[in-house]
Amino acid sequence: MIIIGEKLNGSIPSMGKAIAARDEARIKDLARKQTEAGANFLDVCASVTPDVEVETLKWMLDLVQGEVDTPICLDSPSPETLVKALPLCNKPGIINSISGEGNKIDLIFPLIADTKWGCIALLCDDRGIPQSVEQRMETFAMIMKRAEEFHIEPSRLYIDPLVVTLSSNESALTAFAECTRQVKAQYPDIHITSGASNVSFGLPVRKLINMSFMILAMGAGMDSAIVDPTNRDMLGIIYAANALLENDEYCLEYIGAYRDGVIGPPLEERKK
Ligand code: THG
């Protein structure tokens, strides 16, 4: 599994406050903790008004990259911001995100065409959040046509079929899983990613829904996730599912994650 650490996101209230207060220690601490927990990329999202977004991202990126070598997953709703922030990264990471909306592809694909950057592509377009598998797969076909034009290999793309809310849409997981299977059948080297937590809005004990989503989506072929890597329960079921899906010979990664304290019972209990 390719783990994208979600914590450096200004839309999380505590992180929004830390960004507003220019709390350098908090940013550095979360960069380090997520890296130590095994994050392969660190999502960095300022979630501030467009007029100060690039300068805020620059401040965050300098702190994160001064603390750890983990590549960045650059997260902004604005393609113009992504274009300006990409040169601030020390090494290739992942652009989060493009979609079929507006001019996103036209701005981002030429920029990353001849680089090692990856790119998350959401399966939505100007029609908004798609409800059906068919609508998402139409967007997918369009994105792949454009990717081919720019010679962007499937292995650099992370398709996000979009997670909707289960309490208002009973096919939230089943439609996601069907898209995942169809995308993987067409392009075995492509990655599938998502942030799982949208699925559980409005429901009690959200973590049960989030973790069940994760396992079922992995069963359908999802091989990346935007999660909190310091969440030991979530990481535990990810390592367990990975082994059960034949992606972890002799369970070595599962055992290693337990040994390193990344998964398992709460740390206090282990010390007893
Ligand atoms: N797809 C793509 N990008 C995305 C999302 C997606 N970026 C933003 C978002 N969705 C994913 N990021 C977050 C970040 C934080 C939280 C949820 C989604 C969040 N975190 C809790 C907190 O920090 O309090 C902790 C959760 C936990 O402990 O497990 O709510 O879907 N392409």
| Spatial contact of 180 and 222, defined as CB atoms under 8 Å apart | yes
Question: Residue 225 CB: number of other CB atoms within 10 A?
Answer: 22
- What is the C-alpha to C-alpha distance for residues 126 and 114, in angstroms, rounded to an integer? 27
pLDDT for the residue 121:
98
In this structure, which amino acid lies at residue 197? Answer: S
CA-nearest residue for atom 30, ligand 1, is 12
pLDDT for the residue 85:
98
pLDDT band at 272 (very low <50, low <70, confident <90, very high): low
pLDDT for the residue 26:
98
Average pLDDT, rounded, for the chain: 96
Is residue 271 over pLDDT 70? no
Lining residues, ligand 1, CB within 6 Å: 6-7, 9, 12, 75, 96-97, 120, 160, 163, 194-195, 197-198, 226, 228, 231, 234
**Quick one: average pLDDT of 70-91?**
98
Q: Pocket of ligand 1, candidates 4, 6, 203: which has the most ligand atoms within 8 Å of its Cβ, to mutate?
A: 6
Tokens representing residue 139 in the block: 């967007």
Residue partners of 19: CB distance under 8 A and separation at least 6: 10, 27, 46, 47, 48, 56, 60
Cis status, amide bond into 97, omega within 30 of 0: yes
Q: How far is the CA of 199 from the centre of ligand 1 (A)?
A: 11
| pLDDT tens digits, 18-37 | 999 999 999 999 999 999 99
Index of the ligand 1 atom closest to the CA of residue 226:
11
CA-nearest residue for atom 26, ligand 1, is 228
**Quick one: average pLDDT of 230-250?**
97
Index of the ligand 1 atom closest to the CA of residue 234:
29
CA dihedral 58, 59, 60, 62 (to 10 degrees): 80
pTM over 0.75: yes
DSSP letter for each residue of the chain: -EEEEEEEETTSHHHHHHHHTT-HHHHHHHHHHHHHTT-SEEEEE--S-HHHHHHHHHHHHHHHHHH--PPEEEE-S-HHHHHHHGGGSSS--EEEEEEESTTHHHHHHHHHTTSS-EEEEEEEETTBS--SHHHHHHHHHHHHHHHHHTT--GGGEEEE-----TTT-TTHHHHHHHHHHHHHHH-TT-EE--BGGGGGTT-SSHHHHHHHHHHHHHHHT--EEEE-TT-HHHHHHHHHHHHHTT-SGGGHHHHHHHHTTSSSS-HHHHH-
CA-nearest residue for atom 27, ligand 1, is 228
CA-nearest residue for atom 4, ligand 1, is 195
Percentage of the chain with pLDDT > 90? Answer: 95
| pLDDT tens digits, 106-154 | 999 999 999 999 999 999 999 988 889 999 999 999 999 999 999 999 9
Residue of 109, 113, 60, 110 whose CA lies nearest to 89: 60
pLDDT for the residue 266:
73
Angle at 198 between CA 19 and CA 65, to 5 degrees: 35
| pLDDT tens digits, 179-211 | 999 999 999 999 999 998 999 999 999 999 999
Q: Pocket of ligand 1, candidates 7, 179, 228: which has the most ligand atoms within 8 Å of its Cβ, to mutate?
A: 228
Q: Pocket of ligand 1, candidates 197, 201, 212, 222: which has the most ligand atoms within 8 Å of its Cβ, to mutate?
A: 197
